[in-house]
Structure 1
Amino acid sequence: MLSRRGFVSRIHRKKAKGRPMPERTRLANAQKSKVRSAVEHVFAHQKGLMGLFVRTIGLARARLKIGLANLAYNIRGFVWLQNRGALAR
């Protein structure tokens, strides 16, 4: 169903019970984990440190709240990179 629509599955594969996981499956899962970890760290930061909990009426307000949280996250990362670069000089 996904391939008919031009999509590729990004879901991890499980190994068969009592059998070792094939090398090809293990490598594919590792590749998917790289993408997942990058995304999950952002969500964890927003939920934990920023206390992001969307409880608004309407999609526009929810989008605004998430957009501002994303902006704050990116600015914080930018400031960290700027300070890190200043120390390296």
Structure 2
Amino acid sequence: MPTKKHTLSNDSDDEVATKKVKKASTATPVKWTPEEEAIFAELAEGILKKHLWDAVKADGRLVHRKANGIYMRIGTMVKKMIKS
């Protein structure tokens, strides 16, 4: 099956360019190394700790939980993700 093409218009030139859309890779998945898992967990935990509390406050359903409790729960969830 041929690759799909999208037409892009350029308002300044009236030229039409085509761009090929890449298909998903059919390569065999590569397992994550323990080092990659640790890096990913660290990044995910950092992002969650930085932004989740604001989302919890804005939502309103968990406002009875304190910030420290939310952060501790995030840490617990990340540790569970690493184990599984």
Q: Indicate whether the TM-score tops 0.5.
A: no
By percentage of residues, which structure has more strand? Answer: 2
By percentage of residues, which structure has more helix? Answer: 1
Structure number, greater radius of gyration: 2
Calculate the TM-score normalised by the size of structure 2: 0.31
